[in-house]
Structure 1
Amino acid sequence: MHKSRLAALVIDSQGEEKSSAIDFWARALGWPCQETDDKYGKLATPPDQPDVLIQQVDHPSRVHLDIESDDIEAEVTRLEGLGATVIERRERWTVMEAPTGHRFCIVHPQRPDFADADNVNVWS
């Protein structure tokens, strides 16, 4: 048995300067940027909602979802059974593609309430 849920909406922004993307999305969504590092900006979303991250990338700009799970391999296997394919296995996450062509990532729990939340799916 394992758990999973939507962790984050990730706005991939191609280019050298992520601060302009962070500024735009923070103002567009009405949530200030609460933390940043050399690759990511995290907006101050309400605690009961998924995170919104702005990520600097080399590939064309797009939006993808992060699904958090307490067992990445079990969640990957479950989603493969639904028709998704593994694109790349990384040390801390797995990149997958849905049958519709949309990319998404399976990640370790990201939001602090994951273990005790009532809004997670439990899979057997």
Structure 2
Amino acid sequence: MHHSRISAYIFDCQVDDLKDAAEFWSRALGRPVATFDQDGDGKYAELKTDADEPFLLLQRVDHEARIHLDIETDDLDAEVARLEAIGATRIAFVKRWWVMQAPSGHRFCVVRKQRAEFGPYVNEWP
């Protein structure tokens, strides 16, 4: 048995610097900027969310702008297999996560558990 839930909504931003994008989304969503440079490499900014909410991240990318979601799980292999069984395909393994594609053409990521506790909005899978 394993668990999964929505971990994050990621704003893929085709920009040189995330500061303006983070400020826009901060004002648009009414969420303060938690950090303009989450990992120290200028690739991720984060808006403040509560502990039981998905993260709101901005990611600097080379492809066109879009929004994707991350699904976090306590068993990466089992969750990827479950999603493949219902029609998703693996695109690439990047660092510690899988980029996948839904039958609808949407890309999403399956990541390892991001917080100590899943919180109240977790799915349990056989």
Q: TM-score range by the shorter chain?
A: over 0.9
Query: Structure 2: which 5+ residue stretches go unaligned?
Result: none
Alignment partner, residue 118 of structure 1: 120
1:11 maps to 2:15: no
Alpha carbon RMSD of aligned pairs, Å? 1.1
Q: Distance in 1 between the 2:98 and 2:123 partners? A: 19
The CA deviation at 1:86 is 0.4
How far does the alpha carbon of each residue in 1:57-110 deviate from its partner, in whole angstroms, 9 at most, with x for none?
Answer: 111110000000011111000000010000101230000000000000000111
Q: One-letter code of the match for 2:123?
A: N
- Are the aligned partners of 2:68 and 2:108 in contact in 1 as well (CA < 8 Å)? yes
Q: 1:101 aligned to 2:110?
A: no
1:113 shift after superposition: 2.3
TM-score, length basis structure 2: 0.91
Unaligned runs of 5+ in 1: none
Instruction: State percent identity of aligned pairs.
Output: 51
Point out 4+ residue stretches in structure 1 off by more than 4 angstroms.
Answer: none
* Structure 2 residue aligned with 1:34: 34
What TM-score results when the alignment is normalised by the length of structure 1?
0.93
Aligned pair 1:81/2:85, yes or no?
yes
